[in-house]
Amino acid sequence: MSRGKAAAVFTLTRDATERTVKIARDAMRNPKEQKDTTRDAGSAFSTSETLVLDERAWEEFVAALESPPREIPQLVELFRAKAPWD
């Protein structure tokens, strides 16, 4: 890479980094946003549910996970249809 190109890349990278840092710093400066983010993150973690599957259900679920993707005809039809809000 030529020195000119390297300098240009460095400038772009530095600019992007500075912009990112500024966004992060501004977010930290905003107490409301910081509070909301913290609350949302805490809430999301505290309310995440665990669906417990027994032996047979677990095996079935894992088998479905490992099988190749398949198209579901009724879903294809639904995706092609026009919704009331389309």
Partner 1 sequence: MEQGDIYRAQRFDCGVVVLNDWLQKHAWPSHQGGGARVYVAVETAQDLIAAYFCLSAAQADHAVVPLRVSQGMGQSPIPVVLIGRFGVDTRFQGSGLGRFMVRHAFEETLKTAQWIGVRAVMIDAKDQDAANFYESLGFTASVNNPLRLFIMIKDVKRSLAVAAAP
The residue behind tokens 């509070």 is 35
Answer for which of 11, 30, 34, 43 binds partner 1 (CB under 8 A) is: 43
CB 37, min distance to partner 1, A: 10
Q: Are 63 and 57 in contact (CB under 8 A)?
A: no
CB 49, min distance to partner 1, A: 4
Q: Does residue 15 bind partner 1 (CB under 8 A)?
A: no
Find the helix packing angle between 3-29 and 31-47, rounded to 10°.
Answer: 80
Cα separation, 17 vs 34, in Å, equals: 21
Q: Does residue 40 bind partner 1 (CB under 8 A)?
A: yes
Nearer to partner 1, 31 or 69 (CB): 69
What is the contact surface with partner 1 in residues (CB under 8 A)?
A: 39-41, 43-44, 46-58, 60-62, 64-65, 69-72, 74-81, 83-85
